[in-house]
Amino acid sequence: MSGRPELILASASPRRLALLNQIGIEPDHLIPAHVDETPETGELPRRLAQRLAHAKAMEVRNKARQAGIGGDAVILAADTVVAVGRRILPKAETMDEAASCIRLLSGRSHRVFTGLCVVSANGHARERVVDTRIRFKRLSSKEIEAYLASGEWTGKAGGYAIQGIAGAFVVKLSGSYHAVVGLPLYETVSLLSGEGYPVHFNWLNPANLTGV
């Protein structure tokens, strides 16, 4: 660890960890954030994604300090919001919620906003929101029923995960695929580099890269 700041990923998401590993970055600590994700009255999807990413980063910064870890750490947090127009879709926890989301998305375009926040040891925050546009095919009742039966929608924003079965529903995507999965890689590297985190640290040793 010497010679570089520690990196704390403010998430327990295996998808976000896998995406970081894909680009040769291994967090020193995984500390999930627990913040109220309820949109404020009249809050737009882009603003919600940005606010939640910032809130997660700051909560985890405080948690780390209280635990006596990561005194020199850089915190990375992200949040993903799925929306149709101004309507923010929930993270589906029931089949009824998932069914409502999938029926709404069927045959139409929607947007996925992924907020990023990187906070340095001195508390300086760099933020970005990545906007990706996606269009789903028109789904038949049989397709919707089969998808709901899969259970893959559980806990997913908008009731789907693009890297899973629902990837077959995507007719067109404009923006960042990785942002829809949970972590836009280009923007993540840009923000980490801007705070002085050596993103190329593990690239110097090919054995550290995933899949090698």
pLDDT tens digits, one per residue of 127-156: 999 999 999 999 999 999 999 999 999 999
79 is catalytic: yes
What pLDDT does 212 receive?
44
* Residues shown for the chain: 212
pTM value surpassing 0.95: no
Give the pair of three-digit tokens for residue 134: 């996606």
| Tokens standing for residue 91 | 């993270």
- Domain ranges in the chain? 7-208
Q: With both helix axes pointing from N to C terminus, report the angle between 95-105 and 141-150 in degrees, rounded to the nearest 10.
A: 140
In this prediction, residue 69 has a pLDDT band, given cuts at 50, 70 and 90, of confident
7-208: CATH topology? Maf protein (3.90.950)
Q: Which range (107-111, 129-133, 203-207) has the least confidence?
A: 203-207
**Which residue among the candidates 28, 36, 79, 96 is catalytic per the annotation?**
79
Query: Averaged over 196-201, what is the pLDDT?
Result: 86
